[in-house]
Structure 1
Amino acid sequence: MNRRQVFPQMIGAGLFLLLMFGCATPATPTSLPPTVAPAIPTSTATAQPTAKPSPTRVQMPKRPGVEWRLVIISESTGWGLGTAFAKQIEKDVGVKVVVDSFAIGNLSAGEVLQVLQTGKGFSSRLEELPAALKRADVVVMFASPMLSLDAATTNNIESCFSGLVPTRCDPKNFEGYTAHLKGIWAQVIELRAGQPTILRAIDVASPFVRNWKRSQTFDACTVCWQGVSDSTRQAAEAYHIPFVSRYDAFNGPKHDQDPADSGYIGGDGIHPSNLADQLTSEMLARLGYEPTLPEK
Protein backbone atom coordinates (compact mmCIF):
# COMPACT_ATOMS: atom_id res chain seq x y z
CA MET A 1 0.00 0.00 0.00
CA ASN A 2 1.48 3.35 -1.01
CA ARG A 3 1.66 6.62 0.92
CA ARG A 4 -1.32 8.05 -0.98
CA GLN A 5 -3.45 5.25 0.47
CA VAL A 6 -2.15 5.13 4.04
CA PHE A 7 -1.85 8.85 4.76
CA PRO A 8 -5.62 9.44 4.90
CA GLN A 9 -5.89 6.53 7.33
CA MET A 10 -3.37 8.17 9.66
CA ILE A 11 -5.29 11.44 9.58
CA GLY A 12 -8.63 9.73 10.09
CA ALA A 13 -11.40 12.28 10.04
CA GLY A 14 -9.00 15.17 10.52
CA LEU A 15 -9.58 18.37 8.62
CA PHE A 16 -6.01 18.32 7.35
CA LEU A 17 -6.99 15.76 4.72
CA LEU A 18 -9.82 18.00 3.53
CA LEU A 19 -7.69 21.09 3.04
CA MET A 20 -4.12 20.15 2.25
CA PHE A 21 -4.83 16.88 0.48
CA GLY A 22 -8.28 17.51 -0.92
CA CYS A 23 -11.63 15.85 -0.39
CA ALA A 24 -11.63 12.97 -2.82
CA THR A 25 -9.26 10.02 -3.06
CA PRO A 26 -8.77 8.66 -6.60
CA ALA A 27 -9.84 5.08 -7.03
CA THR A 28 -6.71 3.88 -8.80
CA PRO A 29 -3.57 5.40 -7.32
CA THR A 30 -0.26 5.06 -9.06
CA SER A 31 2.37 3.09 -7.16
CA LEU A 32 5.02 5.31 -5.65
CA PRO A 33 8.08 4.61 -3.52
CA PRO A 34 7.14 4.11 0.16
CA THR A 35 8.95 7.16 1.57
CA VAL A 36 9.40 10.07 -0.81
CA ALA A 37 7.99 9.85 -4.30
CA PRO A 38 8.93 10.16 -7.00
CA ALA A 39 12.72 10.39 -7.12
CA ILE A 40 13.95 13.50 -8.90
CA PRO A 41 16.78 13.18 -11.44
CA THR A 42 19.77 15.35 -10.68
CA SER A 43 19.19 17.39 -13.83
CA THR A 44 15.67 18.23 -12.67
CA ALA A 45 16.55 19.17 -9.11
CA THR A 46 19.22 21.66 -10.18
CA ALA A 47 17.26 24.73 -11.35
CA GLN A 48 17.61 23.95 -15.08
CA PRO A 49 16.21 25.37 -17.26
CA THR A 50 15.71 28.66 -15.50
CA ALA A 51 12.89 31.06 -16.24
CA LYS A 52 12.82 34.81 -16.01
CA PRO A 53 11.06 37.75 -17.67
CA SER A 54 12.15 37.95 -21.28
CA PRO A 55 14.95 40.48 -21.88
CA THR A 56 13.40 41.15 -25.31
CA ARG A 57 10.08 42.08 -23.70
CA VAL A 58 8.10 39.53 -25.68
CA GLN A 59 4.41 40.22 -25.19
CA MET A 60 1.47 37.87 -24.96
CA PRO A 61 -0.90 38.08 -27.94
CA LYS A 62 -3.78 40.42 -27.09
CA ARG A 63 -5.56 40.97 -30.40
CA PRO A 64 -9.36 40.78 -30.62
CA GLY A 65 -10.44 37.18 -30.93
CA VAL A 66 -7.26 35.83 -29.31
CA GLU A 67 -7.77 32.91 -26.95
CA TRP A 68 -5.63 32.22 -23.88
CA ARG A 69 -5.56 28.85 -22.17
CA LEU A 70 -5.30 28.97 -18.38
CA VAL A 71 -4.01 25.83 -16.63
CA ILE A 72 -4.61 25.52 -12.89
CA ILE A 73 -2.56 22.89 -11.01
CA SER A 74 -3.83 22.53 -7.45
CA GLU A 75 -5.38 20.41 -4.77
CA SER A 76 -8.92 21.21 -3.64
CA THR A 77 -8.21 24.80 -2.56
CA GLY A 78 -7.97 25.67 -6.25
CA TRP A 79 -11.39 24.37 -7.25
CA GLY A 80 -12.87 27.83 -7.83
CA LEU A 81 -9.73 29.70 -8.82
CA GLY A 82 -9.74 28.90 -12.52
CA THR A 83 -13.14 30.46 -13.15
CA ALA A 84 -12.33 33.52 -11.04
CA PHE A 85 -8.93 34.20 -12.61
CA ALA A 86 -10.26 33.61 -16.13
CA LYS A 87 -12.86 36.33 -15.58
CA GLN A 88 -10.16 38.64 -14.22
CA ILE A 89 -7.92 38.10 -17.25
CA GLU A 90 -10.80 38.65 -19.66
CA LYS A 91 -11.66 41.90 -17.87
CA ASP A 92 -8.06 43.16 -17.81
CA VAL A 93 -6.76 41.97 -21.18
CA GLY A 94 -9.82 41.56 -23.37
CA VAL A 95 -8.98 38.07 -24.60
CA LYS A 96 -11.13 34.97 -24.31
CA VAL A 97 -9.85 32.58 -21.63
CA VAL A 98 -10.37 28.82 -21.72
CA VAL A 99 -9.80 27.14 -18.35
CA ASP A 100 -8.04 23.78 -18.18
CA SER A 101 -8.34 22.97 -14.49
CA PHE A 102 -6.28 20.29 -12.80
CA ALA A 103 -7.50 21.28 -9.35
CA ILE A 104 -7.90 17.74 -8.06
CA GLY A 105 -8.64 16.65 -4.52
CA ASN A 106 -5.57 15.06 -2.87
CA LEU A 107 -3.22 16.26 -5.62
CA SER A 108 0.35 16.29 -4.34
CA ALA A 109 3.57 17.71 -5.72
CA GLY A 110 5.01 14.20 -5.99
CA GLU A 111 2.11 13.05 -8.15
CA VAL A 112 2.29 16.11 -10.40
CA LEU A 113 6.01 15.62 -10.91
CA GLN A 114 5.57 11.94 -11.65
CA VAL A 115 3.00 12.51 -14.39
CA LEU A 116 5.16 15.21 -15.97
CA GLN A 117 8.23 12.96 -15.93
CA THR A 118 6.60 9.69 -16.96
CA GLY A 119 3.17 10.47 -18.39
CA LYS A 120 1.67 8.11 -15.81
CA GLY A 121 -0.72 9.32 -13.12
CA PHE A 122 -3.37 8.04 -10.75
CA SER A 123 -6.18 9.10 -13.12
CA SER A 124 -6.73 9.56 -16.83
CA ARG A 125 -7.54 13.21 -16.17
CA LEU A 126 -4.18 13.87 -14.51
CA GLU A 127 -2.43 12.15 -17.41
CA GLU A 128 -3.81 14.91 -19.66
CA LEU A 129 -1.71 17.50 -17.81
CA PRO A 130 1.45 17.32 -19.98
CA ALA A 131 -0.56 17.92 -23.15
CA ALA A 132 -2.47 20.77 -21.49
CA LEU A 133 0.78 22.45 -20.49
CA LYS A 134 2.12 22.28 -24.04
CA ARG A 135 -0.72 24.56 -25.16
CA ALA A 136 -0.98 26.70 -22.00
CA ASP A 137 -0.65 30.48 -22.03
CA VAL A 138 -1.02 30.92 -18.26
CA VAL A 139 -0.10 28.41 -15.53
CA VAL A 140 -0.92 28.81 -11.83
CA MET A 141 0.37 26.15 -9.45
CA PHE A 142 0.13 24.94 -5.87
CA ALA A 143 0.43 21.25 -4.99
CA SER A 144 0.29 19.76 -1.52
CA PRO A 145 3.32 18.35 0.33
CA MET A 146 1.82 14.85 0.53
CA LEU A 147 4.44 12.29 -0.54
CA SER A 148 7.18 14.90 -0.20
CA LEU A 149 7.62 14.88 3.59
CA ASP A 150 9.39 12.49 5.93
CA ALA A 151 7.37 10.60 8.53
CA ALA A 152 8.33 12.91 11.41
CA THR A 153 7.16 16.04 9.61
CA THR A 154 3.98 14.30 8.50
CA ASN A 155 3.28 13.37 12.12
CA ASN A 156 3.96 16.92 13.28
CA ILE A 157 1.51 18.36 10.80
CA GLU A 158 -1.03 15.66 11.65
CA SER A 159 -0.84 16.72 15.29
CA CYS A 160 -2.14 20.17 14.33
CA PHE A 161 -5.44 18.54 13.39
CA SER A 162 -5.78 15.90 16.10
CA GLY A 163 -5.66 18.10 19.20
CA LEU A 164 -2.11 17.09 20.10
CA VAL A 165 0.82 19.43 20.58
CA PRO A 166 3.22 19.00 17.66
CA THR A 167 6.97 19.14 17.76
CA ARG A 168 8.17 22.17 15.84
CA CYS A 169 8.62 21.37 12.18
CA ASP A 170 12.24 21.56 11.07
CA PRO A 171 12.58 23.69 7.92
CA LYS A 172 15.17 21.21 6.62
CA ASN A 173 12.46 18.57 6.45
CA PHE A 174 10.66 20.53 3.73
CA GLU A 175 13.62 20.28 1.35
CA GLY A 176 12.10 17.28 -0.44
CA TYR A 177 8.90 19.21 -1.01
CA THR A 178 10.82 22.20 -2.34
CA ALA A 179 12.75 19.89 -4.69
CA HIS A 180 9.52 18.38 -6.01
CA LEU A 181 8.08 21.84 -6.69
CA LYS A 182 11.28 22.91 -8.46
CA GLY A 183 11.09 19.75 -10.52
CA ILE A 184 7.53 20.59 -11.55
CA TRP A 185 8.49 24.07 -12.70
CA ALA A 186 11.43 22.67 -14.66
CA GLN A 187 9.10 20.26 -16.44
CA VAL A 188 6.55 23.00 -17.15
CA ILE A 189 9.23 25.20 -18.69
CA GLU A 190 10.55 22.32 -20.78
CA LEU A 191 7.06 21.49 -22.06
CA ARG A 192 6.48 25.11 -23.06
CA ALA A 193 9.61 24.93 -25.25
CA GLY A 194 10.33 28.64 -25.21
CA GLN A 195 6.78 29.79 -25.97
CA PRO A 196 5.63 32.92 -24.13
CA THR A 197 3.87 31.78 -20.97
CA ILE A 198 2.70 33.48 -17.80
CA LEU A 199 3.81 31.37 -14.81
CA ARG A 200 2.50 32.06 -11.32
CA ALA A 201 2.99 30.28 -7.97
CA ILE A 202 0.65 30.41 -4.97
CA ASP A 203 0.63 28.92 -1.48
CA VAL A 204 -2.28 28.04 0.82
CA ALA A 205 -3.99 29.82 3.71
CA SER A 206 -4.92 28.17 7.01
CA PRO A 207 -8.58 28.07 8.10
CA PHE A 208 -7.60 26.58 11.46
CA VAL A 209 -6.12 29.55 13.32
CA ARG A 210 -8.99 29.79 15.79
CA ASN A 211 -8.66 26.08 16.64
CA TRP A 212 -4.90 26.38 17.06
CA LYS A 213 -5.27 29.25 19.50
CA ARG A 214 -7.90 27.36 21.46
CA SER A 215 -5.67 24.27 21.75
CA GLN A 216 -2.55 26.37 22.40
CA THR A 217 -0.81 24.91 19.36
CA PHE A 218 -0.76 28.11 17.32
CA ASP A 219 2.99 28.74 17.47
CA ALA A 220 4.05 25.20 16.60
CA CYS A 221 1.43 24.70 13.89
CA THR A 222 2.24 28.07 12.36
CA VAL A 223 5.86 26.96 11.93
CA CYS A 224 4.67 23.86 10.07
CA TRP A 225 2.35 25.84 7.83
CA GLN A 226 5.09 28.37 7.19
CA GLY A 227 7.29 25.52 5.99
CA VAL A 228 4.78 24.74 3.25
CA SER A 229 4.55 28.40 2.25
CA ASP A 230 8.32 28.86 2.25
CA SER A 231 8.79 25.86 -0.02
CA THR A 232 6.36 27.19 -2.61
CA ARG A 233 8.04 30.60 -2.50
CA GLN A 234 11.58 29.19 -2.75
CA ALA A 235 10.72 26.94 -5.67
CA ALA A 236 9.17 29.86 -7.54
CA GLU A 237 12.10 32.16 -6.81
CA ALA A 238 14.52 29.56 -8.19
CA TYR A 239 12.91 30.11 -11.60
CA HIS A 240 12.11 33.83 -11.23
CA ILE A 241 8.40 33.02 -11.15
CA PRO A 242 6.14 35.61 -9.46
CA PHE A 243 4.54 34.36 -6.25
CA VAL A 244 1.27 35.21 -4.48
CA SER A 245 0.89 34.27 -0.81
CA ARG A 246 -2.67 33.41 0.14
CA TYR A 247 -1.27 32.65 3.59
CA ASP A 248 -0.16 36.26 4.02
CA ALA A 249 -3.29 37.72 2.43
CA PHE A 250 -5.91 35.69 4.29
CA ASN A 251 -4.13 35.05 7.60
CA GLY A 252 -2.47 38.45 7.91
CA PRO A 253 1.23 39.38 8.11
CA LYS A 254 1.60 37.57 11.45
CA HIS A 255 -0.56 34.66 10.25
CA ASP A 256 -2.71 35.03 13.36
CA GLN A 257 -5.99 36.00 11.70
CA ASP A 258 -8.73 33.48 10.97
CA PRO A 259 -9.79 33.97 7.32
CA ALA A 260 -13.36 32.95 8.12
CA ASP A 261 -13.74 36.21 10.06
CA SER A 262 -13.22 38.14 6.80
CA GLY A 263 -15.42 35.92 4.65
CA TYR A 264 -12.55 34.11 2.96
CA ILE A 265 -13.72 30.59 3.87
CA GLY A 266 -16.70 28.90 2.23
CA GLY A 267 -19.68 27.21 3.78
CA ASP A 268 -17.82 23.96 4.45
CA GLY A 269 -15.48 25.77 6.85
CA ILE A 270 -12.43 24.57 4.95
CA HIS A 271 -12.10 25.74 1.37
CA PRO A 272 -11.69 29.26 -0.03
CA SER A 273 -14.89 31.21 -0.61
CA ASN A 274 -15.78 32.94 -3.86
CA LEU A 275 -14.52 36.14 -2.25
CA ALA A 276 -11.16 34.50 -1.53
CA ASP A 277 -10.86 33.24 -5.11
CA GLN A 278 -11.65 36.72 -6.40
CA LEU A 279 -9.06 38.30 -4.11
CA THR A 280 -6.47 35.75 -5.23
CA SER A 281 -7.28 36.58 -8.85
CA GLU A 282 -6.84 40.29 -8.18
CA MET A 283 -3.48 39.67 -6.51
CA LEU A 284 -2.38 37.60 -9.50
CA ALA A 285 -3.55 40.35 -11.83
CA ARG A 286 -1.49 42.95 -9.98
CA LEU A 287 1.61 40.98 -10.98
CA GLY A 288 0.82 41.92 -14.57
CA TYR A 289 0.69 39.82 -17.70
CA GLU A 290 4.28 39.81 -18.86
CA PRO A 291 5.34 36.28 -19.83
CA THR A 292 7.96 34.29 -17.98
CA LEU A 293 10.24 32.52 -20.42
CA PRO A 294 13.01 29.88 -20.26
CA GLU A 295 16.50 31.28 -20.39
CA LYS A 296 18.04 30.63 -23.78
Structure 2
Amino acid sequence: MNKIQIYSPAKINLNLKVIKFDNNSRKHKLKSRVSILKLCDVIQIIKSKSLNIKYHKLNKKIYLADDIIKKTISYFDKKYKKKSSFNINVEKKIPVGYGLGGGSSNAASILKFLYSYYKINPNNFWIDAPNIGSDVLLFIDQNPKMIDGIKSIKRIKPSKPRWKKIFIIIPNQKNLTKDIFLNFKKKQYHHTNIKTKNDLTYSSRALNPEFTRIYDFLCNFRDDFKLFDMSGSGSSIFVSFKSAYVEKSIIHNIHEKFPLLRIEKSYYFS
Protein backbone atom coordinates (compact mmCIF):
# COMPACT_ATOMS: atom_id res chain seq x y z
CA MET A 1 0.00 0.00 0.00
CA ASN A 2 1.08 3.59 -0.61
CA LYS A 3 1.47 6.00 2.27
CA ILE A 4 -1.94 7.17 3.50
CA GLN A 5 -2.50 10.53 5.17
CA ILE A 6 -5.55 11.13 7.32
CA TYR A 7 -6.68 14.08 9.42
CA SER A 8 -7.80 13.85 13.02
CA PRO A 9 -9.82 16.90 14.18
CA ALA A 10 -10.10 18.53 17.59
CA LYS A 11 -13.36 19.34 19.39
CA ILE A 12 -14.66 21.90 21.83
CA ASN A 13 -17.38 21.61 24.45
CA LEU A 14 -19.58 24.66 23.93
CA ASN A 15 -21.19 23.91 27.29
CA LEU A 16 -20.81 21.23 29.96
CA LYS A 17 -23.12 20.26 32.81
CA VAL A 18 -22.09 17.61 35.34
CA ILE A 19 -25.27 15.65 36.10
CA LYS A 20 -24.03 13.23 38.77
CA PHE A 21 -21.35 10.68 39.63
CA ASP A 22 -22.23 7.15 38.49
CA ASN A 23 -21.03 4.60 41.06
CA ASN A 24 -21.27 1.66 38.65
CA SER A 25 -18.99 3.08 35.95
CA ARG A 26 -17.02 5.27 38.40
CA LYS A 27 -17.48 8.18 35.99
CA HIS A 28 -19.41 11.45 35.97
CA LYS A 29 -22.53 11.69 33.82
CA LEU A 30 -22.34 14.78 31.63
CA LYS A 31 -24.55 16.85 29.38
CA SER A 32 -22.57 18.78 26.80
CA ARG A 33 -22.88 20.23 23.30
CA VAL A 34 -19.77 19.50 21.24
CA SER A 35 -18.52 20.96 17.96
CA ILE A 36 -15.73 19.68 15.71
CA LEU A 37 -12.82 22.00 14.82
CA LYS A 38 -10.73 22.32 11.67
CA LEU A 39 -7.64 22.22 13.91
CA CYS A 40 -6.35 18.67 13.46
CA ASP A 41 -3.50 16.20 13.88
CA VAL A 42 -2.00 14.70 10.73
CA ILE A 43 -1.56 10.91 10.70
CA GLN A 44 0.56 9.11 8.10
CA ILE A 45 0.25 5.33 7.72
CA ILE A 46 2.27 2.85 5.67
CA LYS A 47 2.38 -0.96 5.70
CA SER A 48 5.21 -2.46 7.71
CA LYS A 49 6.48 -5.78 9.09
CA SER A 50 5.58 -4.72 12.64
CA LEU A 51 3.50 -2.10 14.43
CA ASN A 52 5.38 1.15 15.11
CA ILE A 53 3.68 4.30 16.39
CA LYS A 54 5.53 7.62 16.69
CA TYR A 55 4.28 11.02 17.79
CA HIS A 56 5.89 14.31 16.77
CA LYS A 57 5.33 17.95 17.63
CA LEU A 58 7.19 20.59 15.62
CA ASN A 59 9.49 17.85 14.26
CA LYS A 60 10.43 16.72 17.78
CA LYS A 61 9.55 13.24 19.02
CA ILE A 62 7.14 13.19 21.96
CA TYR A 63 6.07 10.32 24.21
CA LEU A 64 2.51 9.78 25.41
CA ALA A 65 2.00 7.77 28.59
CA ASP A 66 -1.37 6.44 27.41
CA ASP A 67 -1.08 5.50 23.72
CA ILE A 68 -4.71 5.35 22.60
CA ILE A 69 -3.77 4.43 19.01
CA LYS A 70 -2.00 1.31 20.28
CA LYS A 71 -5.02 0.55 22.47
CA THR A 72 -7.35 0.98 19.47
CA ILE A 73 -5.37 -1.36 17.23
CA SER A 74 -5.07 -3.94 20.01
CA TYR A 75 -8.86 -3.84 20.54
CA PHE A 76 -9.54 -4.05 16.80
CA ASP A 77 -7.12 -6.95 16.17
CA LYS A 78 -8.53 -8.96 19.06
CA LYS A 79 -12.16 -8.45 18.04
CA TYR A 80 -11.71 -8.95 14.29
CA LYS A 81 -8.88 -11.53 14.50
CA LYS A 82 -6.31 -9.44 12.61
CA LYS A 83 -2.61 -8.76 13.08
CA SER A 84 -2.10 -5.14 12.07
CA SER A 85 1.42 -4.02 11.23
CA PHE A 86 1.92 -0.42 10.15
CA ASN A 87 4.31 2.45 10.59
CA ILE A 88 2.12 5.23 12.01
CA ASN A 89 3.45 8.78 12.38
CA VAL A 90 1.29 11.34 14.15
CA GLU A 91 2.05 15.05 13.85
CA LYS A 92 0.40 16.52 16.97
CA LYS A 93 -1.06 19.89 16.07
CA ILE A 94 -3.83 19.58 18.68
CA PRO A 95 -2.43 20.59 22.10
CA VAL A 96 -2.22 17.50 24.32
CA GLY A 97 -4.12 17.59 27.61
CA TYR A 98 -6.24 20.71 27.10
CA GLY A 99 -9.78 19.33 26.75
CA LEU A 100 -9.70 19.33 22.93
CA GLY A 101 -10.12 15.58 22.40
CA GLY A 102 -6.94 14.90 20.42
CA GLY A 103 -6.45 11.37 21.76
CA SER A 104 -10.06 10.32 21.21
CA SER A 105 -9.95 11.79 17.71
CA ASN A 106 -6.76 9.84 16.89
CA ALA A 107 -8.49 6.64 18.01
CA ALA A 108 -11.53 7.41 15.83
CA SER A 109 -9.39 8.16 12.77
CA ILE A 110 -7.39 4.94 13.14
CA LEU A 111 -10.55 2.89 13.69
CA LYS A 112 -12.09 4.26 10.48
CA PHE A 113 -8.86 3.52 8.59
CA LEU A 114 -8.84 -0.09 9.83
CA TYR A 115 -12.44 -0.63 8.71
CA SER A 116 -11.52 0.63 5.25
CA TYR A 117 -8.25 -1.31 5.03
CA TYR A 118 -9.79 -4.65 6.06
CA LYS A 119 -13.13 -3.97 4.29
CA ILE A 120 -15.15 -4.19 7.50
CA ASN A 121 -18.56 -2.53 7.81
CA PRO A 122 -17.94 1.03 9.14
CA ASN A 123 -21.28 0.94 10.99
CA ASN A 124 -19.40 -1.09 13.61
CA PHE A 125 -17.98 2.26 14.73
CA TRP A 126 -21.13 2.83 16.82
CA ILE A 127 -20.35 -0.31 18.83
CA ASP A 128 -16.55 -0.23 18.89
CA ALA A 129 -15.88 3.45 19.61
CA PRO A 130 -17.42 3.57 23.14
CA ASN A 131 -15.41 0.47 24.10
CA ILE A 132 -12.17 2.32 23.32
CA GLY A 133 -13.00 5.64 24.99
CA SER A 134 -16.06 7.60 26.09
CA ASP A 135 -15.37 10.50 23.66
CA VAL A 136 -14.31 8.50 20.58
CA LEU A 137 -17.86 8.36 19.21
CA LEU A 138 -17.90 12.18 18.99
CA PHE A 139 -15.65 11.92 15.94
CA ILE A 140 -17.86 9.69 13.78
CA ASP A 141 -18.44 12.75 11.55
CA GLN A 142 -18.16 16.54 11.63
CA ASN A 143 -21.73 17.22 12.78
CA PRO A 144 -22.26 18.77 16.25
CA LYS A 145 -23.14 16.26 18.99
CA MET A 146 -24.90 16.24 22.33
CA ILE A 147 -23.43 14.15 25.14
CA ASP A 148 -26.20 13.02 27.46
CA GLY A 149 -24.92 10.67 30.14
CA ILE A 150 -21.73 8.57 29.83
CA LYS A 151 -21.99 6.74 26.49
CA SER A 152 -25.10 8.42 25.09
CA ILE A 153 -24.17 10.68 22.18
CA LYS A 154 -26.69 12.18 19.76
CA ARG A 155 -26.08 13.90 16.44
CA ILE A 156 -27.34 17.45 16.00
CA LYS A 157 -28.17 18.45 12.44
CA PRO A 158 -27.95 22.25 12.08
CA SER A 159 -30.44 23.87 9.70
CA LYS A 160 -27.72 25.83 7.84
CA PRO A 161 -24.41 24.19 8.81
CA ARG A 162 -21.18 26.04 8.11
CA TRP A 163 -17.68 26.60 9.46
CA LYS A 164 -17.39 29.57 11.82
CA LYS A 165 -14.21 31.25 13.01
CA ILE A 166 -13.05 30.67 16.58
CA PHE A 167 -9.87 31.20 18.60
CA ILE A 168 -8.47 28.62 21.02
CA ILE A 169 -6.36 30.05 23.85
CA ILE A 170 -3.83 27.62 25.32
CA PRO A 171 -2.39 28.42 28.78
CA ASN A 172 1.04 27.01 29.60
CA GLN A 173 -0.33 25.18 32.64
CA LYS A 174 -2.50 22.16 31.80
CA ASN A 175 -5.39 20.76 33.80
CA LEU A 176 -5.27 17.11 34.80
CA THR A 177 -8.73 15.72 34.02
CA LYS A 178 -8.67 13.39 37.03
CA ASP A 179 -7.83 16.26 39.40
CA ILE A 180 -10.49 18.56 37.94
CA PHE A 181 -13.27 15.98 38.35
CA LEU A 182 -12.05 15.02 41.83
CA ASN A 183 -12.07 18.66 42.88
CA PHE A 184 -15.59 19.03 41.48
CA LYS A 185 -16.80 15.85 43.18
CA LYS A 186 -15.45 16.98 46.56
CA LYS A 187 -16.69 20.55 45.96
CA GLN A 188 -13.26 21.96 46.80
CA TYR A 189 -13.89 25.18 44.89
CA HIS A 190 -15.60 28.51 45.44
CA HIS A 191 -18.57 29.71 43.42
CA THR A 192 -17.91 33.17 42.08
CA ASN A 193 -20.09 35.57 40.13
CA ILE A 194 -18.54 34.58 36.79
CA LYS A 195 -20.91 33.53 34.02
CA THR A 196 -19.95 30.12 32.66
CA LYS A 197 -21.78 27.30 30.89
CA ASN A 198 -19.11 24.81 31.97
CA ASP A 199 -19.49 23.43 35.51
CA LEU A 200 -15.79 22.50 35.59
CA THR A 201 -14.63 26.11 35.18
CA TYR A 202 -14.86 26.59 38.96
CA SER A 203 -12.54 23.63 39.61
CA SER A 204 -10.11 24.90 36.98
CA ARG A 205 -10.02 28.25 38.75
CA ALA A 206 -9.35 26.48 42.05
CA LEU A 207 -6.43 24.43 40.70
CA ASN A 208 -4.88 26.52 37.93
CA PRO A 209 -3.79 30.09 38.83
CA GLU A 210 -2.63 30.89 35.29
CA PHE A 211 -6.00 29.84 33.86
CA THR A 212 -7.74 32.09 36.39
CA ARG A 213 -5.65 35.13 35.41
CA ILE A 214 -6.34 34.60 31.70
CA TYR A 215 -10.04 33.82 32.20
CA ASP A 216 -10.57 36.88 34.40
CA PHE A 217 -8.79 39.11 31.89
CA LEU A 218 -11.01 37.82 29.08
CA CYS A 219 -14.13 38.47 31.17
CA ASN A 220 -13.43 42.19 30.65
CA PHE A 221 -14.37 41.71 26.98
CA ARG A 222 -17.35 39.41 27.46
CA ASP A 223 -19.75 41.82 25.71
CA ASP A 224 -17.60 41.60 22.56
CA PHE A 225 -17.71 37.79 22.38
CA LYS A 226 -20.24 35.59 20.63
CA LEU A 227 -18.81 32.56 22.42
CA PHE A 228 -16.50 32.39 25.42
CA ASP A 229 -15.77 29.57 27.88
CA MET A 230 -13.48 26.72 28.86
CA SER A 231 -13.56 23.55 26.76
CA GLY A 232 -14.07 20.22 28.53
CA SER A 233 -11.93 19.86 31.63
CA GLY A 234 -9.62 22.59 30.28
CA SER A 235 -7.47 24.42 30.48
CA SER A 236 -8.06 25.68 26.92
CA ILE A 237 -10.44 28.61 26.45
CA PHE A 238 -12.38 29.37 23.26
CA VAL A 239 -13.57 32.77 22.06
CA SER A 240 -15.36 34.03 18.96
CA PHE A 241 -15.99 37.69 18.26
CA LYS A 242 -18.98 39.79 17.26
CA SER A 243 -16.95 41.84 14.78
CA ALA A 244 -13.61 41.78 12.95
CA TYR A 245 -12.68 45.15 14.46
CA VAL A 246 -12.94 44.04 18.09
CA GLU A 247 -11.31 40.71 17.19
CA LYS A 248 -8.10 42.39 16.06
CA SER A 249 -8.04 44.76 19.01
CA ILE A 250 -8.68 42.13 21.70
CA ILE A 251 -6.24 39.59 20.25
CA HIS A 252 -3.61 42.36 20.37
CA ASN A 253 -4.52 43.09 24.01
CA ILE A 254 -4.24 39.40 24.93
CA HIS A 255 -0.79 39.12 23.35
CA GLU A 256 0.29 42.29 25.10
CA LYS A 257 -0.90 41.05 28.50
CA PHE A 258 0.31 37.43 28.05
CA PRO A 259 3.14 37.51 25.47
CA LEU A 260 3.96 33.79 25.81
CA LEU A 261 0.37 32.63 25.41
CA ARG A 262 -0.45 30.37 22.45
CA ILE A 263 -3.52 31.37 20.44
CA GLU A 264 -4.80 29.10 17.65
CA LYS A 265 -7.18 30.44 15.02
CA SER A 266 -9.52 27.72 13.80
CA TYR A 267 -13.11 27.09 12.69
CA TYR A 268 -15.91 25.10 14.33
CA PHE A 269 -18.77 23.35 12.50
CA SER A 270 -22.20 24.47 13.58
Please tell me the TM-score bracket, short chain as reference: under 0.3
Q: Which has the higher strand share?
A: 2
Q: TM-score by structure 1 length? A: 0.22
Which has the larger share of helix? Answer: 1
For the pair shown, the structure with the greater C-alpha radius of gyration is 2
